[in-house]
Amino acid sequence: MTKLIVATSNPGKLREMQAYLSDSAWELSLKPAELDVDETGDTFAANACLKASEVAIALNCWTIADDSGLEVDALDGAPGIYSARYANSDKERIDRLLQELSGFPDPQQRQAQFVCAVAVARPDGTIAAAAEGICRGEILTSPRGIDGFGYDPIFYVPAKQLAFAEMSLATKRSISHRGIALAIVSKKLAQIASDGI
C-alpha cells in the first residue's frame, strides 16, 4: 500500500476524510502538526492545490488536501475562503455569522452553500487529481444537533429536513460538499493505484 498524507489540521475534516477514503488502496497518514501551509490562494481550488503540493514536497509523499468553507448569499458569498479565519473558535464563528444575519429572519434570505475543493499531489508537488463539491442549504437562526464540526449546527439541508450536525456521517457524506468532491477524487485515486503508482 502506498502512503497518502492527509494534509489537514482540522480534526473534523480528518474524521470525514478518513471515513470517506477508508476502503481505498492507500494507507492514510496524518501530516505532522508543525507542517503548516499559508493559504494565499484566492479560490478554494487554489488553496487545496497549494496545501497538497507544499506538504507533498516537504514530505516527499503523495498528499491529499481539502479547502472548504461556507458561502452565504445575503453576505455576497462571505465568509467563503475566509471561513476558518472568520473568528477564533467554532462557537465564535457561528455566533458571528448568526449576528451578521440577524436582519434576515426569513429562510429564503438565509440561503447558503458549502464548497469543498480537494486536491491530490504527487511527491514532486504536481497535481494528480482535483475536484470540487457544493451543497446548498440554509443558515438556521440557532444551532441544532451535536454531531459534525465547524458550522454544522447552523447549516440546514431542506431535502433531509436536518442540520448537518443532526446527520449521521453516512448521511452527511451522501449529500455534502466533501462527500461529492471525495467521491470524484477517490475514483481517480483507485485508478492511480491500479495503474501502479
Cα separations in angstroms, 20 against 16, 40, 94: 6, 27, 26
Chain residue whose CB lies nearest ligand ITT: 150
Three cell numbers written together for 66: 481539502
* 10, 109, 111, 171: which one binds ligand ITT (CB under 6 A): 10
Binding flag, residue 148, ligand ITT (CB under 6 A): yes
* 54, 164, 179, 182: which one binds ligand ITT (CB under 6 A): 164
Per-residue interface string for the shown chain with ligand ITT, residues 36-75, x marking contact by CB under 6 A: ---x--------------------------xxxx------
Binding flag, residue 133, ligand ITT (CB under 6 A): no
What phi and psi values does residue 16 have, to the nearest 5 degrees?
Answer: -70, -45
Q: For ligand ITT, which stretch binds (CB under 6 A), given 54-62, 101-109, 126-134, 145-153?
A: 145-153
Question: Cβ distance 171 to 162 under 8 Å?
Answer: yes
Three cell numbers written together for 139: 443558515
Binding flag, residue 150, ligand ITT (CB under 6 A): yes
Which is nearer to ligand ITT, 10 or 141 (by Cβ)?
A: 10
* 25, 46, 57, 84: which one binds ligand ITT (CB under 6 A): 84
Closest CA to 140 of 172, 115, 114, 163: 163
Report the C-alpha gap between 93 and 78 in whole angstroms. Answer: 12
Question: Cβ distance 149 to 88 under 8 Å?
Answer: no
Residues catalogued as catalytic: 67
Closest CA to 137 of 159, 116, 153: 159
* 24, 50, 166, 178: which one binds ligand ITT (CB under 6 A): 178
